Structure 1
Amino acid sequence: MVNTPEQPLGERGHLPESLQILAEYLELSLDGATSVVMMRHGSDVCTVYVGDPAGLPEDLKKQGAISARLANEMLELTHSGANQMEIDGQAYRFVRSFTQVGDSAAVVFSTT
């Protein structure tokens, strides 16, 4: 299943902050041919990394942190498997999956 909004996100009025942030991280992953990896290390914050989630956990590069609220909204606006959406005029195609990195569960956004 592919997420294809009727109109591009950002042209309907309000673009959710979570999708703006996701687009920024997807751009980083495209630059390095890597994935965006999100891990919740507490109840309020998710840490965001770029890298290969199948590699060594210490090889992931920390990019920042976002609130759990924004991370949850990202998950609500995307779905497992293939996603395709336009955010602020830019088309993004990515696969959202889940994995284990070390002892932590992780959400992975891999560009296609």
Structure 2
Amino acid sequence: MTTASDWVNGSQEATPESLRTLVKYLELSLDKGKSVVIMRQETGEFSVSLGDPSDDENPLKRQGTLAAGIASEILAFTRPGANLITSEGETYRFFRSFAQVGQAGAVVFAPS
């Protein structure tokens, strides 16, 4: 399994804001039993949704937006495939993959 970052000591001060933001959405995804889906918008920001991008019958549920810098750091600190983040004593395992949602590419973070 790949460690998502060198900041796995559980200290919030040492964990970058981008990974703390991802952890917040991973918590939501665990509560809802869905994946986190991030897509670039025409505005330059990134939308964050929960759901299954391959399920045409149930649309993704938008949760918020990310600034381009935060989204870029999330992508830099994670890798395609299995990942692991430890933050504030909690360990999060997830699988990062790619999907097509309509005409847009998306990055999918699925809890594992």
TM exceeding 0.5? yes
Structure 2 alignment gaps of length 5 or more: none
Distance 2:39 2:5 in 1: 27
Please, which moves more after superposition, 39-48 or 76-85?
39-48
Superposition pairs of residues 1-112 of structure 1, within 5 angstroms: 1-3=1-3, 8-11=8-11, 13-42=13-42, 44-56=44-56, 59-112=59-112
Give how far 1:42 is off.
Answer: 2.4
Q: Give a deviation string over 1:12-63, Cα, whole Å, max 9, x none.
A: 8422111111001000100111000000012520000000111128610000
Supply the AA of the counterpart residue of 2:25: Y
Structure 1 alignment gaps of length 5 or more: none
Shift in alpha-carbon separation, 1:20–1:57, aligned structure 2, 3 A: farther
* Percent identity of equivalent pairs: 44
TM-score of the pair, normalised by structure 1? 0.89
SS of residue in 2 equivalent to 1:59: coil
The answer on whether the counterparts of 1:37 and 1:107 sit within 8 Å (CA) in structure 2 is: yes
